[in-house]
């Protein structure tokens, strides 16, 4: 299927409890789709993950276990009782266990195999991968290769095993009855044949009812979109690179915010009112997470204590030289990250591990300068479109795949571009500021101590705010960044692919210090 990038699906997204989009939200979505495929809450489930992947070090610290359980219970990542997953599973009569294996080589570092037994005793296995930023891919259903991304309406038709020609003919007949189809796939595995129809709109009830009466049909399964914006292959974006964004703004004599809104309307089919309404929802969540993150009584598990409120008071009362805007912005970024660590609801921009940078900077700036939500929305949209344009060569904002440069680095670039919009800058300046920020963090590795989104993640969000502010203001003042954002984005991805050759992903850098080794051992013991 063609690559579909949306601001509200991929960069100002997902909306989720913290602490991690790839390790908390991604598993919740994989579990939810697996539950849909099975047809209900399983009686038993075993979640397997490879010993050489990321989950051995992050499964519990980043609440991946809770994510998987909630999904298997049929709950999305924003269920109000998200953290009560184990108790809810017990009450539902569902037994869940987790196991390391050495034979799961499909996909990347955050891949899991879910072995499920239905309430009727039917066994089914689903393999899914968390890609980063809440994105995911279902790779296999009982060994049948599929590509399910949660961006379409999915129809799975399980039929008795058929010859490839007969199966394709059946699939083509079904496709002929449906408008708005994105893709039709069919495959035969060891147990059955499978037809997968991907639609831009819901499947009509009469069509679904007729499927059950067709010869050889074992089961019909409909899976709704998981992401907020649904893919439609007939829609095309107005631009796809930073250079094209700059050209678009020049041709239409518009701001980068106007171009970002035009882009999102084009790829989602939403009206401008719907785009602005969703953006207002995001702003509300960001402001709420900032407010709650500054409360002194907040608590979370881990190796650090919440400090945002204390630091805010210290900066105001200890006679330290003022950092100007940063006095509030860096503390806001920390507070949002600490709220995330307490499993509070956040907007990942573009990931949970970098969720404090964009709102920390832009919300603080808008508040200090007396800007209304319309202006803040415009800044956020520019942050979002810059994130979309950085999704090149496989970049899904996964720290496990490309290092923290793909999380904090990209989040910092997005914040710099958004601040340029608030400062009244041009698309060229927004792209330049993003390039400068990403250059400053090129090669940053992912090394969360004790498998938590705390050290060095909290510190990196605060310093990311400072880098973004410097990049935005100096570029608007005339600094020549020299390297185009398109080139720097590709260089970042290439650098990320080389990082695992010299460093063990997710167990390097800060993780190898004596203090880190000690606290990791203490938490494991």
pLDDT digits (tens, 9 = 90+) for 217-267: 999 999 999 999 999 999 999 999 999 999 999 999 999 999 999 999 999
Q: How far apart are CA 502 and CA 317, in angstroms?
A: 45
Residues 6+ apart with CB under 8 A from 204: none
Given a contact cutoff of 8 angstroms between Cβ atoms, the answer to whether 511 and 448 are in contact is yes
Reported as a pLDDT band with limits 50, 70 and 90, residue 525 is confident
> Nearest CA to 10 among 196, 278, 192, 229?
229
The residue count for the chain:
525
Question: Considering the chain, what percentage of its residues have pLDDT values greater than 70?
Answer: 98
Q: How many CB atoms lie within 10 A of CB 507?
A: 17
Tell me which DSSP letter residue 398 carries.
Answer: -
Reported as a pLDDT band with limits 50, 70 and 90, residue 504 is very low
Given a contact cutoff of 8 angstroms between Cβ atoms, the answer to whether 58 and 64 are in contact is yes
pLDDT digits (tens, 9 = 90+) for 118-168: 999 999 999 999 999 999 999 999 999 999 999 999 999 999 999 999 999
pLDDT digits (tens, 9 = 90+) for 357-412: 999 999 999 999 999 999 999 999 999 999 999 999 999 999 988 999 999 999 99
Burial class (CB within 10 angstroms; exposed 0-12, middle 13-18, buried 19+) of 468: buried
Structure tokens at 453: 């989104």
Q: Is the pLDDT of residue 505 over 80?
A: no
End-to-end CA distance of the chain: 45
Q: Is the pLDDT of residue 500 over 70?
A: no
Q: Helix crossing, 308-317 with 325-341: angle to 10°?
A: 160
Mean pLDDT score of the chain: 95
Strand partners, 159: 193, 217
Strand partners, 44: 95, 117
Q: Look-up: residue for tokens 């499993």?
A: 343
Q: Is the pLDDT of residue 502 over 70?
A: no
């Amino acid at each position: 299927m063609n690559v579909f990038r949306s601001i509200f699906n991929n960069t100002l997204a997902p909306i989720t409890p913290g602490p991690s989009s790839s390790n908390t939200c991604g598993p919740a979505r994989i579990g939810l789709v697996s539950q849909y495929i099975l047809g209900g809450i399983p009686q038993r489930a075993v979640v397997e993950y490879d010993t050489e992947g990321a989950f051995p070090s992050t499964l519990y610290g980043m609440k991946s276990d809770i994510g998987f359980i909630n999904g298997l219970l049929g709950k999305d990542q924003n269920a109000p009782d998200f953290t009560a997953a184990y108790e809810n599973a017990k009450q539902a009569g569902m037994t869940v266990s987790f196991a390391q294996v050495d034979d799961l080589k499909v996909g990347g570092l955050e891949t899991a195999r879910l072995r499920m037994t239905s309430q009727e005793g039917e066994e089914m296995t689903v393999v899914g991968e968390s890609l980063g930023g809440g994105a995911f891919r279902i790779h296999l259903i009982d060994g049948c290769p599929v590509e399910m991304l949660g961006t379409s309406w999915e129809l799975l038709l399980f039929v008795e095993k058929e010859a490839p020609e007969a199966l394709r003919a059946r699939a083509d007949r079904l496709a002929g009855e449906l408008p708005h189809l994105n893709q039709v796939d069919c495959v035969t595995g060891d147990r059955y044949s499978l037809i997968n129809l991907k639609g831009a709109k819901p499947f009509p009830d009469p069509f679904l009812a007729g499927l059950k009466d067709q010869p050889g049909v074992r089961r019909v399964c409909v899976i709704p979109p998981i992401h907020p914006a649904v893919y439609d292959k007939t829609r095309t974006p107005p631009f796809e690179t930073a250079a094209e964004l700059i050209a678009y703004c020049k041709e239409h004599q518009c701001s980068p915010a106007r171009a970002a809104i035009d882009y999102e309307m084009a790829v989602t089919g939403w009206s401008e009112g719907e785009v602005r309404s969703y953006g207002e929802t995001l702003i509300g969540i960001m402001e709420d997470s900032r407010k709650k993150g500054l409360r002194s009584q907040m608590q979370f598990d881990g190796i650090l204590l919440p400090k945002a409120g204390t630091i805010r008071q210290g900066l105001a009362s200890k006679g330290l030289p003022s950092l100007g805007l940063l006095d509030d912005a860096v503390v806001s970024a920390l507070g949002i990250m600490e709220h995330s660590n307490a499993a509070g609801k956040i907007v990942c921009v573009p990931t949970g591990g970098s969720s404090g940078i964009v709102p920390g900077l832009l919300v603080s700036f808008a508040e200090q300068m007396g800007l209304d939500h319309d202006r803040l929305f415009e800044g956020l949209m520019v942050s979002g479109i810059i994130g979309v344009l950085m999704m090149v060569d496989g970049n899904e904002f996964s720290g496990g795949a490309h290092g923290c440069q793909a999380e904090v680095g990209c989040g910092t670039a997005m914040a710099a571009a958004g601040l340029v919009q608030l400062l009244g800058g041009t698309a060229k300046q927004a792209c330049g500021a993003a390039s400068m920020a990403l250059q400053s963090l090129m090669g940053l590795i992912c090394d969360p101590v004790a498998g938590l989104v705390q050290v060095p993640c909290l510190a990196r969000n605060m310093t990311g705010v400072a880098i973004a502010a410097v990049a935005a203001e100096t570029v608007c003042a005339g600094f020549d960044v020299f390297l185009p954002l398109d080139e720097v984005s590709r260089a970042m991805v290439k650098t990320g692919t080389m990082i695992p050759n010299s460093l063990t992903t997710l167990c390097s850098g800060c993780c190898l210090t004596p203090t880190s080794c000690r606290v990791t051992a203490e938490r494991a013991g």
